Amino acid sequence: MSFLEKYRSAADSRKSLVCVGLDPDPERLPDHLRGTADPVSSFLTEVVAATCDLVCAYKPNFAFFGAMGVAGWRRLEDVLSAIPGSTPVVLDFKANDIGNSARRYAQMAYEALGVDAVTVNPLMGSDSVAPFLEYPDGCAFLLCLTSNPGSADFQRLSTQDGPLYQHVARKALEWSRTGPCGLVVGATHARELATVRRIAPGLPFLVPGVGAQMGDPGEVVRCGSDRNGGGLLVNVSRSVLYASSGRDFAGAARCAAESLRAKLERERASSLSP
């Protein structure tokens, strides 16, 4: 199955727009896991087991694994193996380089790790994005308007086509005719999220910034949904992973994911009501 097929199937069958980010911080793991053979893998696999029926996707952040060196790659493989095959995985590494190097990044993600989608920095242009579009079953989520405060430094700069983030959205729509594209738009920019949806009505949006960054889930659904009330992967990481630091961490993660799922579904039902 392609990424889009997996995403739509998971979102529909689980009635969920929730994407859980897997960002393991060894310093925040529950104390009782620290004496186990591999605390990070144990932590993440338990979180996945507790939440896998509630999510439309998982998003492991490569930086957190890469910071652990060789062991981090093994731990990433462990958690990828624990994720059910019916659930799509977005590798968050915001990669890019000249075409030859970008091709290696794409191979690492799609072939070595076997993920379903990747986040990509489009700043170097079409030839650097093209290698990520060569995988018809994947999806390249292009950074458009990110959730961090510094996003304004460049992403809002004026161009002849409007702010830069709008130009990225138009390019994503154009490039999606070559290979599957999506956009990363932060939940902290609800008004702009609506603008980007008007530009790219059919593309999937990965939306970080709900949870620890205080983006509003209701506004995300109202402003970012496609015409069918979907097309969103609403990412939440820290507020799910670290909902508890005790032995109940997996159950607490499930409760946090379920709470967000319910909020999003209530808003989606309301937006689709005649």
> Is the overall model pTM greater than 0.85, yes or no?
yes
For 63, the token pair is 């930086």
258 and 54 Cβ atoms separated by less than 8 Å: yes
pLDDT in tens, 97-107: 998 999 999 99
Active site residue 15: no
Residue % of the chain over a pLDDT of 90? 91
Can you tell me the mean pLDDT for 213-227? 90
Residue 125: the pLDDT is 96
Strand 90-95 and strand 117-120: the pairing is parallel
- Which tens digits make up the pLDDT trace of 245-274? 999 999 999 999 999 999 999 999 887 766
Q: What CA–CA distance (Å, rounded) separates 216 from 102?
A: 34
**Separation CA 45–CA 147 (nearest Å):** 27
Q: Tell me what pLDDT residue 173 has.
A: 97
Catalytic residue among 6, 15, 59, 94: 94
Closest CA to 219 of 184, 193, 257: 193
C-alpha torsion sign, points 125, 129, 131, 133: negative
Residues 1-28: pLDDT tens digits?
Answer: 999 999 999 999 999 999 999 999 999 9
Bridge partners of residue 21, in order along the sequence: 59
Mean pLDDT computed over 73-101: 96
What does the pLDDT read at residue 214? 73
At 19-67, the pLDDT tens digits run: 999 999 999 999 999 888 999 999 999 999 999 999 999 999 999 999 9
